[in-house]
Structures are given as C-alpha cells and as structure tokens.
Amino acid sequence: MTSVDTQLGRRPGFTDGILPAACPSRTVLDHVTSKWGVLVLLALSDGTHRWGELRRVVQGISEKMLAQTLRTLEEDGLVVRVAHPEIPPRVEYSLSDRGRDLNEHLMPLMAWIDHNASEMLGRA
C-alpha cells in the first residue's frame, strides 16, 4: 500500500476507503457514535428494555432524543422494536444480531474511555 493509498483513505481491512467524504460509512459512524447512540446501545446490551427503563438508565436524554435515537438505530437494523397489542400499550426495545455484534466492538472502546476519562480531563 502506497502513501497515496493511505492519503485517499484506503486502509487494510476496509472496503473502498473510509476517509473520503462520500463514503457511506460516515452516516453509520454518525448514528453509532453519537453520544446518545452509544449510550442507548450500551443500555440495551444487558437485555430488553421498555421506554421508561431506557429513560432512567440513559440519564439526561430527553424524550425527543430517545425517540429519535431509537428510530435511527432501528432503521439501521441495530435495534428491534416490539409493540405488544395490549392496553396500556407495551413497547420493548432490544438489540438485533447486528446490534449485539456491534456492541462486542463498542464495549472495549467504552471500557477504555471509562478507564481513562478522569485522567484525560484532569480529574484523576
């Protein structure tokens, strides 16, 4: 691989290059690594949750952002939404197979961030 290839975003193990502006990975990266996207994915890593449970677990997220994040992650095939035909309505969210696979990769990154955040921000 030449330095020109590297400059164009071609990396070993990646497809057509991840650095060019037109790469579709940019959209997925934005969805997955948004602050709320990561936190919702992590919250769902321990199983199925209802709306209210997610709001309590992911502290600080507004109803609007939770709805938007869940919708985006569902459209991306990372989250499964199941609406039970009951009164009152019961909706549950869980990770899809793809979402669980993603979380296996996210967990080490989040563990690293958790381990290093205080020191990096001068709060050690």
Specify the CATH number of the domain 20-120. 1.10.10.10
For the chain, the residue count is 124
Which residues of 25-101 form beta strands (DSSP E)? 49-50, 79-84, 90-95
In one letter, which amino acid is 4?
V
Contacts of residue 36, Cβ cutoff 8 Å, sequence gap at least 6: 58, 61, 65, 66, 69
- Residue 16 has what pLDDT? 61
- Residue 63 has what pLDDT? 95
Q: Which residue has the tokens 């690594």?
A: 33
One digit per residue, pLDDT tens: the chain, 124 residues?
445 445 445 555 566 666 777 777 778 888 888 889 999 999 999 999 999 999 999 999 999 999 999 999 999 999 999 999 988 889 999 999 999 999 999 999 999 999 998 888 887 5
